[in-house]
Amino acid sequence: MAAELLNGMLRKTEFGNRPDRPGRLALLAVLLVFSALALRASEVDRRVLIRDVTQIQGVRDNQLVGYGLVVGLTRTGDTQQTFFTVQTLANSLQRMGVQISPGVVVVKNVAAVFVTATLPAFARPGMKLDVTVSSVGDAKSIQGGVLLMTALRAPNGEVYAEAQGPLVIGGYSEGMSGNSKQVNHLTVGRIAEGGEVERDAAVDLSRFKTVSLLLLNSDFTAARDVADVINKEFGKTIANALDSRRIDVDVAESGATSVPILISRVQNLSIHFQSPAKVVVNERTGTIVMGGDVRLSPVSVIHGSLSINVETTHVVLPGQPTIDGKMIVPGKPEVVEETRTTVNDAPAQSIQLQEGANVDELIKGLHAIGATSHDIISILQAIKAAGGLQADLEVI
């Protein structure tokens, strides 16, 4: 819109109503203002908040896991061969005063499951958690089941939460074995707010003498920029970049009244973000993700297609008659294999990339010569080996 307005003003100046000297000065001022705004917009687009590229050392989530039972299934639970399910059921009933022998129990409405959850930072007793329930036996489905109270433990073995409730399955199965329809997995379910925190796992920020910021992506330049913008904000040196990932902020030198206020003030600062030049390819799915800052050196790509198809068919030859005395007896039919080999060698096609070519030009050129996603992966690896790809190539 700014460009259109400027063009209109210039056309008006050139073809009619020529302004005097003050008018020309005003027009020049407008041009400078619009240029400054354009540069400012470009600068803002490349800035990110520190909170989006860092995390606080020591402030993190924790993984919880537990083992329990899902009951109430419609004969889709574990079979008798899954002995640990029957043993768990017997132990649960024994705690309730019911004595049974695991060897004689045949129950198909019960399934043994693992229960997992994520304990967020600063979790307090009474907070609700979402839990995921996964079958560990040979149950066909846990749809419609109810999870019995299950203790969720951290890696240190301590119980931090309890989980219980009805399952929600993101799928269904209808019909019989010969004519059935199944959508998604029926052996994994979820209980929204099915867990409840029992132990305080919050980090005491008041004991922090130093707040350590960890960059999500290791980068010396970004670490320096974070330290510089923090020092500029507080007017003194309170932040130091220790390496390409860690920046330490001195709490006492900052003069902040509390650590949370200091963290909030720091996280809302912004820095210039330089995205790394990186190419990530997945050979299994043929997925290719390339950053916009990836640059290519002058390179020529020659791509050909050679396909060899070997096809084997079975041919039945009629039997030949034989003479047995005076009678002619038809021979038995003979089955032989006939192999055909076809070779299609398409002419090689090439593309040339000049100095400073970007990803868009490479992709357009590869599509123009008919390269598939798997071909592009091989071509990228070859370009990287030849030194023509100015980016990190990661194969996952």
Residue 36 included in any domain: no
Residue 300 included in any domain: yes
Is 197:161 a contact under the CB 8 Å cutoff? yes
10-residue mean pLDDT series, the chain (396 residues): 47 46 51 47 66 92 95 88 84 85 78 95 93 92 93 94 92 60 78 94 89 92 94 94 94 92 94 81 78 73 59 59 52 61 62 68 74 77 80 82
For residues 192 and 215, state if they share a domain: no
Which residues form the domain of 119?
62-170+185-197
Residue 284 included in any domain: yes
For residues 145 and 68, state if they share a domain: yes
Q: Which two tokens stand for residue 40?
A: 């400012």
Residue 18 included in any domain: no
For residues 338 and 364, state if they share a domain: yes
For residues 284 and 311, state if they share a domain: yes
Domain boundary residue among 272, 292, 313? Answer: 272
For residues 363 and 310, state if they share a domain: yes
For residues 291 and 377, state if they share a domain: yes
Residue 23 included in any domain: no
Residue 43 included in any domain: no
Query: For residue 249, what pLDDT is reported?
Result: 96
Residue 302 included in any domain: yes
For residues 73 and 192, state if they share a domain: yes
pLDDT in tens, 131-142: 999 999 889 899
How many domains does the chain contain in total? 3
Query: For residue 95, what pLDDT is reported?
Result: 86
pLDDT in tens, 93-137: 888 888 887 777 777 899 999 999 999 999 999 999 999 999 998
For residues 166 and 253, state if they share a domain: no
Residue 39 included in any domain: no
Query: For residue 43, what pLDDT is reported?
Result: 44
Query: For residue 9, what pLDDT is reported?
Result: 46
For residues 193 and 75, state if they share a domain: yes
For residues 312 and 190, state if they share a domain: no
Query: For residue 21, what pLDDT is reported?
Result: 52
For residues 150 and 226, state if they share a domain: no
For residues 301 and 380, state if they share a domain: yes
Residue 149: alpha-carbon gap to chain centroid? 32
Query: For residue 68, what pLDDT is reported?
Result: 94
